[in-house]
Structure 1
Amino acid sequence: MTHADDTSRLPTYFISHGGGPWPWMRKEMGPTYDQLAAALADMPRQIGRTPDAILMVSAHWEAPVFTVQGNPRPPMIYDYGGFPAHTYEVRYDAPGSPELARRVQSLLAAAGLPAAIDPERGFDHGMFSPMKAMYPDAGVPVVQLSLRRGLDPAEHLALGRALAPLRDENVLIVGSGLSYHNLRNFGPQAHGVSKAFGDWLDDTAVQSAPQERVQRLQDWAAAPSARMAHPREEHLIPLMVVVGAAEQEPGERIYHEDAFMGGLVVSSYRFGAAAS
């Protein structure tokens, strides 16, 4: 069944995706992820309808050129270590969409961005962990899109601009990373640096005018505590993609914790309006 507003433009999202296979670790983790889970589970309500597909840009896939997942039935990639044995058997059996993969490749080609299709690539935990909270029945097709090695902010903003037409085609664009990602400085002692960077990120994503927002993101490494928050920026770069795809539209913080994992400031953002 279609809705009267099915032609309206979908927002884009940058989500903090948490650590490893957390949705399958309630017994081990207790309430640690309850706030994140609730924020992710609320996204379908904000969207107001079921997307035809989701294009997921995960921090956990980099390639020499932008590469699209073309596998119609992607397998699982257990790209984490040190977790309980049962988490290496979890399943999130969403279908892929070779049709969407070809559409993405053509959009990028039209924008002068070389793109490849990987017919074998599976789902990594940057996709399946948040998707388990967002769409637990795995009924929505998902296609992953890689970052490009070098992690150039301007290039990933341009990637987002090229992908923007998908928002009018009932495809949800999600950037999956973490607003703070320094595994060597985690927990209460990291509160100050994560807050300093998080405050800058809020100001950039939510308060800045479109042109200023783009400029600040391109210059993100000059932000307060930037390299303490992201010694390597692969978990931040998905934000560039979703901002590029909603360049002129306002941002809103949809998830925020001041003491995640004992002290981290972490957030997620939506760009573009929620359904009324």
Structure 2
Amino acid sequence: MLVLNTLSILVQVVFIVFMSLFSMNIIRHFTGYRKMMVLAPALFVNHGGGPMPLLGDKEHAGLTIFLRDEVKKHVNIKELKAIILITAHWEENKVTISSGKHHNLYFDYYGFPPVSYKYKYDAPGDSDLAERIKKSLDKAGIESRLDSKRGWDHGVFVPMMLINPEADIPIIQISVLSNQDPEQHYKLGQALYEFRKEGIAIFGSGMSYHNMREFMYSRHQNKVVNKEFDDFLNEVCTSESEEKRRKGLISWRQQRGASEAHPPRAAEHFMPLIVVAGAGGSAPGKRVFNWDMSGTFRLSAFIWKDK
């Protein structure tokens, strides 16, 4: 009888241990699956005027604070495997992809203090990822080419020095198209969406309002000059309908205030937003930054994350 009782207890113990291990494996499987399926974000940011956010310019204070302190509340930078960054300061007749293992900085501004030409940002490139991006764009029917030489312009290093000063995440810089065609830029974003499933973020660096003449001559008006256009952007970017977002951004030139916000043939700073919105997938965007530069020019940033 004692032997039978002992065997019974052993069987129960083995059963309990087996079920515990089995349950743990199930939990690991599903939590691991969930983790794999969480998309890296698609984020559009405003990068400001030249190196001004890095120089402590008072009129860029709100933007500097957002890039330095607030982005990390919306993006877990350390979880990202890489960043694909579309910059307004690189226009080409076909989509061009930085493909070097390392890229020097390209100081594409002038007239600023000497210190602003000595910045360093040594994040690595990723030539293998660049090749895969090109193949993905080829498959989507989007003409593209690789460029291993061009440096990272200030549309890349200015925001990234504030967002991730450690410079430890690979960056692939991508140009906008000089034709400024909104539909082509939206399709570019759609083609980049797949990389978000791998933990690779899509960043767009531009300005939601960019009128150089007005920046120079119409500051401190004590009124927001682009409120109507900014309201339109918020409406389409945060829409629950992906189709409304697509149609709204493709037809953005027809919106009231569009040409004042981005003059004709000078909309390169708007194109990264369209690319990021195209990479947003089915989820609605969220406005994560809304600030009035010089009390006059309203700037907005948007993020698309996993539902």
Please report the TM-score for the alignment, with normalisation by the length of structure 2. 0.82
Aligned to 2:220: 188
Decide whether aligned partners of structure 1 residues 190 and 14 sit closer, same or farther in structure 2, where only a CA change above 3 A counts.
Answer: farther
Q: Distance in 2 between matches of 1:79 and 1:208?
A: 38
Q: 2:74 aligns with which of 46, 53, 62?
A: 46
Would you say the 8 A contact 1:190–1:264 is kept in 2? no
Q: Does 1:233 align with 2:267?
A: yes
1:269 aligns with 2:302: yes
Q: How does 1:1-276 map to 2 (within 5 A)?
A: 5-26=35-56, 29-30=57-58, 32-40=59-67, 41-48=69-76, 49-186=78-215, 187-189=219-221, 191-207=223-239, 209-231=241-263, 232-258=266-292, 260-273=293-306
Q: Percent identity?
A: 35
Q: RMSD of the TM alignment (CA)? A: 1.8
Distance 1:180 1:117 in 2: 30
Instruction: Give how far 1:229 is off.
Output: 0.5
Higher relative contact order (CA 8 A, sep 6+): 1
CA separation of 1:192/1:23 partners in 2, compared to 1, >3 Å: closer, same or farther? closer
C-alpha distance in 2 between matches for 1:189 and 1:235: 23
Task: Tell me which structure has the larger Cα radius of gyration.
Answer: 2
Q: CA deviation at 1:6?
A: 4.9
Distance change >3 Å, CA 256–CA 106, structure 1 → 2: same
**Which ranges in structure 2 are unaligned for 5 or more consecutive residues?**
1-30
Cα distance change of structure 1 residues 190 and 139 upon mapping to structure 2, 3 Å threshold: farther
Structure 1 residues 98-144: Cα deviation after superposition (integer angstroms, max 9, x where no partner) = 11111110110110111100010110000111101110111111110
The alignment of Structure 1 onto Structure 2 pairs a total of residues equal to 268
C-alpha displacement of 1:261: 2.5
Query: Could you report, residue by residue, the CA deviation over 1:205-234 in whole angstroms, capped at 9, with x for unpaired residues?
Result: 124621111111011011121111001111
Contact 2:46 2:207 in 1 (8 A): yes
Q: Secondary structure at the match of 1:172?
A: strand
Cα deviation code 1:147-175 (max 9, x no counterpart): 12201100011111111110011111011
What is the alpha-carbon distance in structure 1 between the residues aligned to residue 193 and residue 131 of structure 2?
15
Q: Which runs of 5+ in 1 are unaligned?
A: none
TM-score normalised by length of structure 1: 0.91
d(CA) in 2 for partners of 1:138, 1:33:
22
